[in-house]
Structure 1
Amino acid sequence: MTDSSDIASSTDPVPVKRGRIVVASMVGTTIEFFDFYIYATAAVLVFPTLFFPKADSTAALLSSFATFGLAFVARPLGSIIFGHFGDRVGRKATLVGSLLTMGIATFLIGVLPTFDRVGYWAPALLSTMRFCQGLGLGGEWSGAALLATETAAKGKRAWAAMWPQLGAPFGFFLANGVFLVIMLTLGFDAKTAATNHAFLTWGWRIPFLLSALIVIVGLYVRLKLTETPVFAKAVEEGRRVETPVGEVVRTAWRPLVIGTFVMLATYTLFYIVTTWVASYGTGKVADHSGAKLAISYVDFLELQLVAVLFFAGLVPVSGWLADRFGRRIVLLVITTGIIVFGLLFGVMLDPRHTGDGGMLLFLIVGLALMGLTFGPMSAVLPELFATNVRYTGSGISYNFASILGAAVAPFIATWLVSSYGVFWVGVYLAITGVLTLLALLTMRETRDVDLEQV
């Protein structure tokens, strides 16, 4: 990045260095998603064994998925709280606050006592920390998206906005990579290891404790930022509102609804092809016929790490496509692909003939579609709202979609596969895709909107 690509506010002579914006938005979201995903991995591998009663393994897994989903309930609240300050105080300070909230909660999970030590206090404390994780991430995404979009060059807003989106695959890769290294180092096999194995005793805590170190890095980067020119201009012109959440509900309820359903299939897709399929692929959940897949957890993590590269690689592609052809048409095509993918679950995940190769293909297709649908979202949602409610509006849409899509997806998919079969998990994904398709058909094209004049 060179000085020639800097952008300055018409009211502020100090240029905003776009290279610094790229680093700050991408590094911050990588850290936040790392924190979020290590919980997702532990929700399958660790928490059902250590934090819940062991009488029924399926019930323990469902309880673990319930605490996993609790964060998604907290995320809209986080978007309201941090959105208020983001639209009133500024993007920079609010992003620092969301990062600290997430980081502290994640670190504390790493020191929690287990069920054997404190009984039902263990799941209660775990749920509390998970809720706080959700609050932090609820304020993180929209702030990082605005940081990128409000400093973007003309005609390249989706390209600029895709940088914070890369934090999702990078954080996922880092989280699962750390777990994989620890499991290999300690010789942990989820199918045969005793409950006093070193990994279950202390090894699983390492990724959570490491979050303290990487949060420090993220804080250093973000504290060196300046405010975005678009927000600075809104402040100078006196366009801030007293209660952003009330204003956005009163004046922009339609974009709120559209934005929520535009994100629905994206969320459902991701948490089915990561969190739920991890439990299904490793044999923790049987098909309704009683048949199970039997991929070892270490092997499954390796497959995920390969597939997530397709997620990361296609995020920039989707950003370029959204700038070149428009947000709406690109997302309509990709969402149609998600629907078709869902209808193929019965073939791709049939436990009678799906092995490591078939699972890898499933993961690659699913995460490739995820990269294509996720990439433009950090441009699309902010473009639906005016500057003085943009942090709040985009955050609420993004995070309400997380309740409808992500929070319940692993739970519903687990119930569907055990009751009716894996084909119906795909039907569930396809239905969410149809709802997103309808939202896109009612959404106007936002590629050429002026963020100062929405």
Structure 2
Amino acid sequence: MTDTDVRAQSNVKVRRAAISGFFGSALEYYDFLVYASASALIFGRLFFPEAGATGTLISIATFGVAYVIRPFGAVLWGHIGDRYGRKLALMLTIALMGVATFIIGLLPTFETIGWAAPILLVAIRLLQGLSAGGESPGSTSLTVEHAPARRRAFYTSFTMSGMQFGIAMGSLVFIPVALLPEDQLLSWGWRIPFLLSGVLTVVAFFLRRKLDETEAFSDMRTKGSRAKLPIAILLHSHWRTVIRVLFLSSINIVGTIFNVFVLAYGTGNGIPSAVMLAVVTLANLTAVVAAPIIGALSDRWGRRPVFIVGVFGAAICMVALFAAIDAQNIPAVFAAGIAGIGVFYCMPITVGATWYPEQFPTKVRYTGMAVGLMLGILLAGFAPAAAQAAGADSTMWWPAALICAGAAAVSAVAAFMAPETFRVPKAELGSSSE
């Protein structure tokens, strides 16, 4: 085989990995946004009607339940991915996520089966969280290992584009649903977005079947150097890197505040739910386009500067967004949402998708990325509920803004302390991260 053939084959593999990452993350975050929207707008009435005014708070808290189990999913899928292959782990995670979301669309409500309904809802939400613990870490680890040295962030950015596309599609699907007459919305309309996830699941699973295992993992398997228990090696030799990724990924708090709390805050303060869903949709569609550009800039200028500019820009835009909602200034709401999420927040999450796995060696890359990321975003899952509780039932926004500012500060400090990896050869990644 000539060098040209080898390069062509390598290009095919990395494109497949990027496309698979796009659709896999689209499914994961479509499910994420559909559940987030339903928990903010509908589930309080369907599954917690006896809670009265606190029903929305309890409903939003069920959104955060999945984050509790994500670290356990990270250990499970990380072990499978580092021990038996990235491809197997990714096929299993995508199947579990799609099936769990589809089942939510079939659940009976409190009116039909009483307290069994919210119990089933939480149980299936936990399955979603278990799957999410390995989806994006596996996709990004696999793409980093397939991608050419100077284009790792560009190719990995498509996983982040998929994530934002899934969020946008989840919001878009909910717009006509939210406009239904209330009796239709509460009887059958809310189920449609969950049932539609079955289509994305089939597409993503088919693409995953065509993936090739990475050369880095295949070489490790051939040499017999796979870790028998990746989590043990990770905690013994790379725990500092795990903590660093944990702090870096705390910026995800801004994303959950925007996609859940801002939605509830805006609709609770006079802005129609369809308008707020449109803001979420356009902001995330902007990020779909912005992510590959940001990835290319990170490959050129480095991970750290792009990451830090993004975290501070996102926190500032959140303040502007809340002020615009209070002023009932719809154009300003759109502008702040699109700039804050579509551009600035997109910067750290796009860079992080490459930067986090680059800090771990091959034998624990999947586990390290998954555990560090899932621990980091654990608080992100409960940030909307915390903001809702501290905001006195959606009458104050400054606690949410302070939470976002704190997350940005923590992530920025961690970024200053993290190694710059954009010029490190693939074979040397993770060798000097401790």
TM-score (norm 1): 0.89
Correspondence 1:418-433 to 2 at 5 A: 418=392, 421-433=396-408
Equivalence map 1:34-433=2 (5 Å): 34-57=30-53, 59-184=54-179, 187-188=180-181, 193=182, 197-265=183-251, 267-283=252-268, 293-342=269-318, 344=320, 347-349=323-325, 351=326, 353-367=327-341, 368-404=343-379, 406-418=380-392, 421-433=396-408
Contact 1:38 1:176 in 2 (8 A): yes
SS state at 2:392 partner: helix
- In structure 2, do the counterparts of structure 1 residues 360 and 346 end up closer, same or farther at CA, with 3 Å as the change threshold? closer
Cα shift at 1:180: 1.8
- Relative distance call for 1:39 and 1:3 in structure 2 (3 A) is farther
Q: Which piece of structure 1 moves more, 169-178 or 422-431?
A: 422-431
By percentage of residues, which structure has more helix? 2
Q: Kindly state the Cα deviation for residue 36 of structure 1 after the two structures are TM-superposed.
A: 1.9
Structure 1 CA distance for aligned equivalents of residues 271 and 313 of structure 2: 27
User: What's the Cα RMSD here?
Assistant: 1.9
Q: How far does residue 168 in structure 1 lie from its aligned partner after superposition?
A: 1.2
Alpha-carbon separation, structure 1, partners of 2:270 and 2:118: 28
Q: Which residue of 2 aligns with 1:436?
A: 411
Contact 1:71 1:130 in 2 (8 A): yes
Shift of 1:395: 0.5
SS of 1:333 mapped into structure 2: helix
Q: 1:235 to 1:55 in 2, by over 3 A?
A: closer
Deviations 1:65-100 (A, max 9, x none): 111001111111111101100000000011000011
Answer yes or no: is the 8 Å Cα contact 2:45–2:55 preserved in 1: yes
1:403 and 1:452 map into 2 onto residues whose CA distance is: 31
Deviates more, 1:327-336 or 1:109-118: 327-336
Q: Find the aligned partners of 1:54 and 1:334 in 2 and give their Cα distance.
A: 42
Q: Which runs of 5+ in 1 are unaligned?
A: 9-14, 284-292
- Gaps in structure 2 of 5+ consecutive residues: none
CA distance in 2 between partners of 1:174 and 1:344 (Å) = 25
When structure 1 is superposed on structure 2, of 293-302 and 241-250 the one drifting more is 293-302
2: CA distance, partners of 1:227 / 1:16: 13
Distance in 1 of aligned mates of 2:93 and 2:162: 15
Distance verdict in 2 for CA 1:3–1:66, change over 3 Å: farther
Moved more, 149-158 or 294-303: 294-303
Post-superposition offset of 1:313: 2.3
| Greater Cα shift, 376-385 or 211-220 | 211-220
Query: Taking structure 1 as reference, are residues 416 and 5 closer, same or farther at Cα in structure 2, changes over 3 Å only?
Result: farther
Q: 1:221 to 1:122 in 2, by over 3 A?
A: same
Q: 2 CA distance for matches of 1:224 and 1:4?
A: 18
Distance in structure 2 (CA, Å) of the matches to 1:400 and 1:16: 33
Q: Percent identity?
A: 33
Give the deviation of 1:342 after TM superposition: 4.8
